[in-house]
Structure 1
Amino acid sequence: MTLLKEMGESSTLRQLCHNIIEHTSAHGIPNIFRSQHWLRKLVWVIFVSFALCCALWQCTEMVLTYYTYPSYEKIMLVSSARLKFPAVTICNLNSFRLSAINKNFRMSSSLQDSGLDQTHRRNRSHSWNSTLDHYEEHIQYAGAFNKFASEFNLLSDEEKVDMGHQLEDMLILCNFHGQECNESFFAGFINYKFGNCYTFNSQKATDIRGNPISPMVLNTTKAGFMYGLHLELFIQQIEYVRDISHAAGIRLLIHDQAQMPFPEDEGVNIPPGAETDIGIMKVHIKRLKSPYGSHCTEGDGIRNFYKDVYGAGYTREACKRTCAQQSIMEHCGCSHWEFASPKDLGYPKCNLSVPGVSDCVQLYEFKFAHDELNCNCPLQCQEEIFELTVSGSQWPSTAFMGNFAKDLKEMGGQLSAIANDPVKMRDNLVKVVVYYQQLNYELIEEEPSITEIDLISNMGGLIGLWVGFSVCTIAEFFELFVDILLYFIHRCLRAPTKPEYKSPYMEKGGSIYMAPKSTKI
């Protein structure tokens, strides 16, 4: 009430504004009121208006730029004394063992009926048609292979595992960081193209048959050839199927443990008869979530069949394959063998011999291959990739051949059968070494170009540059606003009253006019 009384006793509203603005800390504005000549006032009004317009324009541009959410990539080389060793997945380039197919009458008949043996008989009599013949052969082979794969897909998972190459038959030697390792360090999964695939250091608790294995994390504290993973493998070319396997060796992928490997699209081939050394350099990528440009996700709210079946994390490729499987399920009424499918969904496996199913599956295979499916699959926010440096040499060497043959004979089985023939040894044996080239990694991190603090600081700098405003100046204008508000509140509370008419004769103590008495003369 005291403050309202003071406001009521103050001068007019014009004088109130004049007093505060004339003494404000904002540059330029007080000079309008201090100038005595009208020309000076006009010049200051024009200049202050121009400065205010420039400040408003630049601040508007800065706010609009901020809401486009720009970002930049920061690249750092991070040194570390210990690095987690990646997961290493190996697949034999031959998907089914010949002996297992011969024991299964249904699969043996399907192999003969598929026509795979007919797809390699190209007519080379016309050299001008070689490209066309090659394309036609590819189409024929793909159709024949799909026909055989459809029959294979109808088998149970246990039967599929039994038909593929077994890790205990393939693994001759495993050594990591100078310590011996064995089959208990490998998990596994079934791939439609390569059959049984085995993953070293997957950190999963079970192997390909569901048996418990060691899920411990393997780290490396030294860089270089001696401190990596050394594998010696027997690829069993005697078990290769002539009409399916066109190359011999191992398909190898290096990936993060949370990532689902897709050997049909990723990885490198390791040939037999050679030692292949793979030096790796880790690259860790961090992206920003929406509304920034990458629009990455952690996979929340996005269905991932590979997480349901294999426990793998979200990746863009896993999302696209899940989307393709969902499209096939919805439109074809079955689950395709190329993609993961949870059993609880209840969809039968696709059988291409059923009328209409083959055409439907081929249609969505084509759409998936040409990225024509309407899938919401943003990039993952965190990703680890590994850059590879691959080199090779002949293995085993001629000098080492004799001693190595003795070791193979002691192991027995199919290994002893190839020990007496150097050609067969080089045709069936693979050695691969995977190691870190250096104990540091490249970090590529996406960061905002403009943060909230940057926006406020830049706007404050622009306003200070053009009109000299500061936080204290804003407080002065806020004070002016409060004063004007109080002024009008006081005006409203002071209700105007009309003066009442009072007879001077009714007031006490007032003088009374009396007419003079008449006198007789």
Structure 2
Amino acid sequence: MEKDVEGAKQTKESECQNGVKKPKRKFPGFRKNLLDYFQEFTGNTGIHGFKYMGEQERTSCEKFSWVILFCVSLYICINLIIQTYLKWDMSPVLVSFAKSPTPVWQVPFPAVTICSETKTRQTVYNFTGAYDRLTHGENLTDDEMKRFSDSSLICDNHLYNDGKKYTDSDTIDYLMSVAPQFSDIFASCKWTLLNESCENFFVPLLTEEGLCFTFNMLNRDEVFRDRVYLNDKYMSHGSHSKGWSLEDGYPKDAAKDTFPRRAMGAGSYAGFFLVLKANILDFDYICKGPVQGFKVLLHNPSELPRMSRQYFRVPLNQEVVVSVKPDMMTTSSGLRGYNPHRRQCYFPTERYLSFFQSYTQQNCQIECLANITLERCGCVAYHMPHENETKICNSGSQVCMFEAQNELLAMDVDAGLQTAASTEVPLGCDCLPACTSLTYNAEYSQATYEYEKMFEAYRVNITAEWPNTHLSRVTLFFKEQQFITSERNELYGQTDFLANCGGILGLFTGFSFLSIIEILYFLTLRLMCNIKHYGRHYWSGSVRLLDHPQYRNPKSKD
């Protein structure tokens, strides 16, 4: 053996000495090396169909067929993945029922706001008489004209629109003084079998219906921010929520008689009873039309009521029985990472209101209306939240306020019809629902309230105690002991999206996460290691990939 090696060396040296050189072997170029590298990848990858594209013994027709089949499968995959993405992007939220019912004592009893249909007491100010004199061409003094102009603010807005555009807080004080007072409306109250004075339950409140009275609503410093100007006698009762919030509910250590008040159960025995009264001598059929009685609205204790939007009537000489069913919507914490317009709600920390302490959809709408009215008219309505320096609109601005309200409604409709992406802020107020919301659905029934017959049976002279008075009775209570809350949950999270994409790719192409790693491996680490091992001429054509010892077929002669 050693002799053979030594002989080969001598032969090589003699050839070199004689000037004879061994012919160089011809290697393929860059394109051929790239093709060989691709054949190696297709022979090892797990992606369906690639193996047949790279096999040398396959005909061009077979390879082309497999390329077509792979492209068709890839096209189907892309379309299905796009549909999956759109579903994930457009409908990430599923509204479902909670797993267990919620007892009614875990939510507050509804705030009850009551407004009389009589806006100006005829015994204090005769609006009908002033209107009749004005329409018949009689001259009113400046004082009479001012009182009539101010009074028209709480009447139908078509009655008088020719007064001054602006006024001040003295007008509000005047309007509240001519409206029916507390003692003119409430006869008796009873809460959960406890007879107490109605003054312990109700506080005065300013609404678009004038002076109203509300029960179980949060104190003014828990509803409004400090910048809001409001006379201290309105919405101030001194009771505070003691840790209650719409999102978190009552604290675990909250007492049974906490505030806002909560019912201990369902049924009329745990409800709220009211007897309301109205003086015939105070009725005014010009200011608000032919209907007399009361408007009642049930609402969340943390939001300001809008009496012109939702209410039910309590007619005179009628008993109205109202069975209430809470409707609560919550949102899972898993949706906090989503854009508010994708989940279609705001968490409390995501939307700041300038006038209100807590965000609700209704509070947002009231604030937006006040801002638009101030921008368009230079003033706000007397019942809107505002700062001390803000001007109050008088009768001369009623048309402007009406147009501002219509403009806001049109903006909200345009925002609802808008087709922009969900991540963009839409037009209008952008008052999405709160992620935790509480409303009260009510069922009503009524019957004739024959109180005169009842007092006559008790031998009580009702006309002597309440002359010229009509009475109405209202009973409110929870309909059922428990109710089912609704929840917003993730319908299609990131995990579901990836799982569906992986399933589609695996079904049509056999593609997986490791396939990505495999491709990256061949394009980076494998390539760099080969270049490092075989030199910088790896792709230059001086070295053929399949000629390397690690790629050779062991059965080949070479």
- TM-score by length of structure 1 reads 0.70
How far residue 152 of structure 1 moved from its aligned partner, in angstroms, is 9.4
3-state secondary structure, aligned to 2:170: coil
Match of 2:434 among 355, 378, 381: 381
Task: List runs of 5+ in structure 2 lacking aligned partners.
Answer: 1-32, 137-154, 222-231, 241-258, 412-426, 540-558
Match of residue 478 from structure 1: 520
> Does residue 60 of structure 1 match 2:102?
no
Among 51, 62, 69, the residue aligned to 1:30: 51
In the alignment, residue 236 of structure 1 is paired with which amino acid?
A: N
Describe how 1:68-217 pairs up with structure 2 within 5 A: 68-69=90-91, 71-75=93-97, 79-81=101-103, 82-84=105-107, 85-101=109-125, 112-115=129-132, 142-144=157-159, 155=170, 157-182=172-197, 183-193=199-209, 195-204=210-219, 208-209=233-234, 212-215=237-240, 216-217=259-260
Cα displacement (A) at 1:95: 1.8
The one-letter code matched in structure 1 to 2:47 is A
Evaluate the alpha carbon distance shift between residue 33 and residue 211 of structure 1 in structure 2; reply closer, same or farther with a 3 A threshold: closer
Q: 1:112 to 1:377 in 2, by over 3 A?
A: farther
Residues 168 and 391 in structure 2, CA contact (< 8 A), matched pair in contact too: no
Specify every segment of 5 or more residues in structure 1 that has no aligned partner in the other structure, as ranges.
Answer: 1-11, 102-107, 120-139, 353-357, 419-423, 497-521
CA contact (8 A) 1:69 1:291 kept: no
The one-letter amino acid of 1:87's match is A
Secondary structure of the residue aligned to 1:187 is strand
Q: Cα deviations across residues 275-326 of structure 1 (Å, max 9, x unaligned)?
A: 110112222245887464675445879785763xxx674435x545544443
The change in CA–CA distance for 1:417 and 1:252 in structure 2 (over 3 A counts) is closer
One-letter amino acid of the structure 2 residue matched with residue 369 of structure 1? N
Partners of 1:255 and 1:36 in 2: CA distance: 79
| Distance change (3 Å), C-alpha of 1:92 and 1:306 | farther
With over 3 angstroms needed to count, the CA separation of the structure-2 counterparts of 1:96 and 1:27, relative to structure 1, is same
Q: Which amino acid aligns with 2:295?
A: R
- What is residue 47 of structure 1 aligned with on the other side? 69
| Alpha-carbon contact 1:234-1:430 (below 8 Å) kept | yes
The answer to whether the 8 Å contact 1:150/1:337 transfers is no
The letter of the residue matching 1:416 is E
Instruction: Flag the 1:208–1:91 CA change in 2: closer, same or farther, 3 A.
Output: farther
Partner of 1:136: none
1:350 to 376, 393, 410: 393
Provide the rounded CA distance (Å) in 2 between the counterparts of 1:169 and 1:361: 29
Q: Deviations over 1:40-88 (max 9, x none)?
A: 5444444334323332332234334434456554355851222421111
Residue 476 of structure 2: aligned partner: 434
Q: 1:326 to 1:61 in 2, by over 3 A?
A: closer
CA offsets per residue over residues 97-147 of structure 1, 9 Å max, x none? Answer: 33333xxxxxx6x7644448859xxxxxxxxxxxxxxxxxxxx96433556
The secondary structure found in structure 2 opposite 1:155 is: helix
Distance 1:462 1:242 in 2: 71
Q: Is the 8 A contact 2:205 2:212 kept in 1?
A: yes
Residue 480 of structure 2 aligns to which amino acid in structure 1? Q
The reply to whether residue 340 of structure 1 matches residue 385 of structure 2 is yes
CA contact (8 A) 1:98 1:239 kept: yes
Q: Give matches, 1:382-397, under 5 Å.
A: 382=435, 383-396=437-450
**CA distance change for structure 1 residues 397 and 264 in 2, over 3 Å: closer, same or farther?**
same
Does the C-alpha gap of structure 1 residues 282 and 21 become closer, same or farther in structure 2, counting only changes over 3 Å?
Answer: same
Superposition RMSD in Å: 4.0
Provide closer, same or farther for how the CA distance between residues 483 and 75 of structure 1 changes in structure 2, counting only shifts above 3 A.
Answer: same
> For the residues of structure 1 that align with 2:402 and 2:351, how far apart are their CA atoms?
21
Residue 495 of structure 1: CA displacement?
11
| 2-structure distance, mates of 1:336, 1:214 | 28
Rounded to whole Å, the distance in 2 between the matches of 1:23 and 1:448 is 40
How far the C-alpha of 1:29 sits from its partner, in A, is 2.3
The one-letter code matched in structure 2 to 1:190 is L
The Cα shift of 1:461 comes to 0.3
Q: Quote the residue 1:220 is aligned against.
A: 263
Q: Distance in 2 between matches of 1:148 and 1:243?
A: 18
Displacement of 1:239 in angstroms is 2.9
1:328/1:361 contact within 8 Å kept: no
Q: Match of 2:159, SS?
A: helix
Matched-pair contact (CA < 8 Å) for 1:184–1:213: no
**Match of residue 15 from structure 2:** none
Question: Does the 8 A contact of 1:78 with 1:441 survive in 2?
Answer: no
Is the contact between residue 83 and residue 439 of structure 1 (CA under 8 Å) also seen in structure 2?
no
- Residue pair 2:346, 2:433 contacting (<8 A) in 1 also: yes
Among 445, 454, 475, the alignment partner of 2:496 is 454
Contact 1:114 1:148 in 2 (8 A): no
- Contact 2:376/2:404, CA 8 A, preserved across alignment: no
One of 292, 304, 311 as aligned partner of 1:248: 292
CA contact (8 A) 2:122 2:284 kept: yes
**Residues 294, 379 of structure 1: 8 Å contact kept:** no
